[in-house]
Structure 1
Amino acid sequence: MATRIVIIGGGPGGYEAALVAAKEGAEVTLIERQGLGGNAVLTDVVPSKTIIATAEWRTIADRAPQLGIRDTDGSDSAEFSEHIVDMEAINARIRKLVLKQSHEIATRMAKNDIRVIGGHARLVGPTQVEVEDEVLDADAILVATGARPRILPTAQPDGDRIFTWTQLYDLKEVPEHLIVVGSGVTGAEFAGAYRLLGSDVTLISSGERVLSTQDPEAAHLIQDVFAGRGMTVIGGARAQAVENTGSGVAVTLADGRRIEGSHCLMAVGSVPNTQDMGLEQAGVAVDERGYIVVDRVSRTSARGVYAAGDCTGLLPLASVAATQGRIAMAHALGDAVQPIELRHVASNVFTTPEIASVGATEAELKDRGIFYEVSTLELARNPRAKMLGIDAGFVKIFGHTVTGQILGAVIVGSRAGEHIFPLSLAVAHHLTVDQVASTFTVYPSLSGTTSEVARRLHGMRDPQQP
């Protein structure tokens, strides 16, 4: 009899795991209460990155005059104000893309004979799952239920004026003045996108700078770009309450200041979807924040029960969720398993320009007492960047002063998430700066700067010391 696999959650962690298990000959049932694709497809990654990509068009239009493209009257202004942003049309396109992506996942499930059940699932024990009055027996269970936006009691989202990041896709007009509370990745991405779409934006940051978890040089560059585009950033401030005034919103800060705008986006973190699932009865341990505790092969404290994705609190990335899910199924079905290595994870902040990073940060290298040298070059020096009118961004590589191994890297620039891949390979496979530097790049290309940065680390001297 085939191994019976029950997966709770149809996001990247769940559906990727289902495909792996099905290909190994398991009998797979996937349970999803919202729609296939989970938050990543339905309310988070796909829709948010689509609106960001749409907003990025303005930066291309703004470069037109310096590239020699003029208006029909002969003037060299390509002011964005001359264009109309149809927010309703943008969101209609986003919803269409979301449905298409979800449908494609459903098609893959059907082609691989994966049974899909809609509904809320609960663990009856470590070998049984209850859904829609049906009890499913399982040889292995994967919990991949994701997370949801954290909501402050004094800032209740209403879908009208006060939003979480899942509620923005019914807007019919660009907000006149959007106040974004929270300057982490989600807050910074949306703040940047709506400013480009034409909103006045006020970004409220609890820290003195935005994107506090990112490379400091990269975060400062993004904050300077925000300021240059007319965004107001209020640092060192915490929102105490948000009120819908009927005609707008009022955000009260902890120091008593009152900020008024037309709409407010709350981007203050997330909480795991682990409540009312029978985890305790099944012996699945959660931490003090409600995240499921897992090891590097996705095992929970209950034998035969695995977990993947945002409900584990590991790293809130679709790529990490998918990897955890695949690892879980490989382990459950007796296949070769390579435990997840978070130091190899590449991540990207979809601001404009983007911030992509992989491997160790400079702060981590200092904390670990590792001898390293850093090499940085501005993208503005790159010939391809000059042709494209790109003048913001840089490539930074951290190299080990003894072995020459690439320990980490940061790229800030247009499509940085695409350009980080060779450096991800370098970090994952312990390549040296000389190996990267000696590999051919196309001329002219933005990747040429990556090669040059690595070349400058040849024969490293005067290492940075902790």
Structure 2
Amino acid sequence: MPIMSRLYDVIVIGSGVGGYTTAIRLSQSGLRVLLIERKLIGGECANYGCVPTKALYSIAKSVRQLRVARFSISWSGNPLEFAREAAAKAREGIAYLLDRYGVEIVYGEARVARNAVVKVLTKNGRVEHYEYRYLVIATGTEPRALPNIPIDEITVLSNRGFLNLDELPSSVIIVGGGAIGVELASILANIGVKVRIVEVAKDILPGMDIDIVRTVKRFLREQEVEIFTSSTIEEILKTGNQVEVKLSSGPRIQTEKILIAIGRRPQTRELGLEEINVRVDSQGYIVVDSYQRTSNPKVFAVGDVTGPPLLAHKALIEGRIAAHTILGRKVVGYLNREIVPVAYFTIPEIGSIGLSEDAARKRGYKVRCVKIPVTVSSRAFIEGCEGGFIKIVMDETSGSVLGLHMVGPNASELASVGLEIIERKLELETVASRPYVHLTAFEILRELAETVLGEPVNIYIPKR
């Protein structure tokens, strides 16, 4: 039999959202594509992030909804098992698509070398060599650890280890009050886990609009989540199945598990990027231009490995840009990282896009903010979100929308509509005239637009 060539039009390293979608787009156009994956097809999102956490969220939201309706409930089952099943389904679907589109897959540790070669250390210990015309790096990020508290994935867990537990713990301390920590805290608290958040900063959700922070803290406390800010873990003492944790702020707390959620770091250190003159920034993220090209014209990078925001939908668009550039197609709509929608699946949800009020002021805008309660829609009462809000941040001089922020029912979907408002400079008069479906988040947005225009219907504002 003839020996198959090891030369590929494109090699993609990493099969997360950025990697697998780029590989499929290129293969659809007739290129020979090799995808190299170190562990599981689908990467962080499908296996440890977006998919399994949303599976847990769906359970937590259902339980909370029954409580809001004053149902007496009891339930049994393993939410983590359901989360793993959801991840497996996503993984199987991605693998099916890659196969049907003719993308070749190799499993192993990739390291780049000179002369357009990628070396792969396979699971059987062999080192295989593959050549490329173009290379796409989509290796993503990995959990960041604390220097004094090593992650053993038994008692001290990363998000990956937590999702692989046999069953939910009775209690957990989440170290880190950012996106991952707060989202998991809300989800777990609603399915019966005693949750405490330990955050080194003065507040949770750094960088988010202050009204989001205040509102989410109030909901978390209603869900019996304890929050310790300006605190670190000084000491851990294991006693049987429990752990005693001493905080720098004074308290000693008993817990079953500790979950480290202090952020992510790029998986670039072992790739050998210096061999092919690919530049990284001070944190190790790969530096790219608006076409996703690196400092090496034959090498592209997409997804979390290129830096914040670390979001799957950003990775997908970056992959589309890279694929179109490699194919010589016109790239329509460059990615503006400042207006990528953000959604946290807390209960209730957080949706945010654009500048916070504080960020807008720091940039010198003459800021006008309008905030209304989500109770303008009966959906807020139905879902127990009566303390939520929607807020618009505007430049008073030009009237342009700078940011849109919401805590409330289906706020995650609202953030995407905010993208159209900010990017396309949609007039609020237009938003106010849209027949958005009744009792949806979009209807709350319309009410906000009418309030800005001085024409609110479902909220009373006294005449001056």
Q: TM-score, normalised by structure 2?
A: 0.90
Q: Which has the larger displacement, 255-264 or 359-368?
A: 255-264
d(CA) in 1 for partners of 2:86, 2:397: 49
The structural deviation recorded for 1:365 is 1.6
Identify the residue that residue 388 of structure 2 maps to in structure 1: 393
Identify the residue that residue 84 of structure 1 maps to in structure 2: 75
Correspondence 1:49 to 2:44: no
Gaps of 5+ in 2: 456-464
Pick aligned residue for 1:425 from 409, 420, 428: 420
d(CA) in 1 for partners of 2:41, 2:364: 45
d(CA) in 1 for partners of 2:276, 2:369: 49
Identify the residue that residue 24 of structure 1 maps to in structure 2: 29
Identify the residue that residue 374 of structure 2 maps to in structure 1: 379
d(CA) in 1 for partners of 2:336, 2:387: 31
Q: In 2 relative to 1, CA 42–385 (structure 1 residues): closer, same or farther, beyond 3 Å?
A: same
d(CA) in 1 for partners of 2:174, 2:384: 30
Correspondence 1:116 to 2:105: yes
Correspondence 1:210 to 2:183: no
Is this contact kept in 2: 1:63–1:389, CA < 8 A? yes
Deviations for 1:145-197, whole angstroms, at most 9, x for unmatched residues? 01111112321222222211111123344322211111111111111111111
Deviations for 1:406-458, whole angstroms, at most 9, x for unmatched residues? 22201211221123332221122121212211222233444222111112223
d(CA) in 1 for partners of 2:238, 2:156: 7
Is this contact kept in 1: 2:8–2:130, CA < 8 A? no
The structural deviation recorded for 1:389 is 4.9
Q: What are the within-5 Å matches in structure 2 for residues 159-174 of structure 1?
A: 159-174=153-168
Pick aligned residue for 2:438 from 440, 443, 448: 443
Is this contact kept in 1: 2:172–2:193, CA < 8 A? yes
**Structure 2 counterpart SS, 1:166:** helix
Partner AA of 2:407 in structure 1? V
**Structure 2 counterpart SS, 1:138:** strand
**Structure 1 counterpart SS, 2:452:** coil
**Structure 2 counterpart SS, 1:123:** strand
Is this contact kept in 2: 1:297–1:328, CA < 8 A? yes
Identify the residue that residue 334 of structure 2 maps to in structure 1: 339
d(CA) in 2 for partners of 1:314, 1:125: 28
Identify the residue that residue 88 of structure 2 maps to in structure 1: 99
d(CA) in 1 for partners of 2:237, 2:12: 40
Partner AA of 1:96 in structure 2? E
d(CA) in 1 for partners of 2:377, 2:454: 23
Q: Which has the larger displacement, 8-17 or 325-334?
A: 325-334
d(CA) in 1 for partners of 2:135, 2:237: 43
The structural deviation recorded for 1:53 is 2.0
d(CA) in 2 for partners of 1:240, 1:299: 43
**Structure 2 counterpart SS, 1:225:** helix
- Count matched residues: 444
Correspondence 1:455 to 2:446: no
Identity in percent: 29
d(CA) in 1 for partners of 2:363, 2:24: 39
d(CA) in 2 for partners of 1:454, 1:416: 16
The structural deviation recorded for 1:13 is 0.8
d(CA) in 2 for partners of 1:121, 1:451: 50
Q: In 2 relative to 1, CA 420–289 (structure 1 residues): closer, same or farther, beyond 3 Å?
A: closer
d(CA) in 1 for partners of 2:171, 2:16: 33
d(CA) in 2 for partners of 1:388, 1:349: 17
Partner AA of 2:33 in structure 1? V
The structural deviation recorded for 1:252 is 2.9
**Structure 1 counterpart SS, 2:89:** helix
Q: Which has the larger displacement, 41-50 or 386-395?
A: 386-395
Is this contact kept in 1: 2:411–2:441, CA < 8 A? no
Partner AA of 2:172 in structure 1? L
Pick aligned residue for 2:349 from 350, 354, 359: 354
Q: In 2 relative to 1, CA 386–258 (structure 1 residues): closer, same or farther, beyond 3 Å?
A: closer
Partner AA of 2:215 in structure 1? L
Correspondence 1:138 to 2:132: yes
Q: In 2 relative to 1, CA 138–373 (structure 1 residues): closer, same or farther, beyond 3 Å?
A: same
Q: What are the within-5 Å matches in structure 2 for residues 21-420 of structure 1?
A: 21-65=26-70, 78-79=71-72, 82-86=73-77, 89-125=78-114, 127-131=116-120, 132=122, 133-255=127-249, 257-337=251-331, 338-420=333-415
The structural deviation recorded for 1:52 is 2.1
**Structure 2 counterpart SS, 1:167:** helix
Q: In 2 relative to 1, CA 200–308 (structure 1 residues): closer, same or farther, beyond 3 Å?
A: same
Is this contact kept in 1: 2:177–2:204, CA < 8 A? yes
The structural deviation recorded for 1:274 is 0.9
The structural deviation recorded for 1:49 is 2.0
Q: Which has the larger displacement, 254-263 or 334-343?
A: 254-263
Is this contact kept in 2: 1:356–1:411, CA < 8 A? yes
Q: In 2 relative to 1, CA 420–155 (structure 1 residues): closer, same or farther, beyond 3 Å?
A: same
Is this contact kept in 1: 2:111–2:272, CA < 8 A? yes
d(CA) in 1 for partners of 2:164, 2:8: 43
Identify the residue that residue 17 of structure 2 maps to in structure 1: 12
d(CA) in 1 for partners of 2:219, 2:212: 11
Is this contact kept in 2: 1:357–1:410, CA < 8 A? yes
Q: Which has the larger displacement, 181-190 or 380-389?
A: 380-389
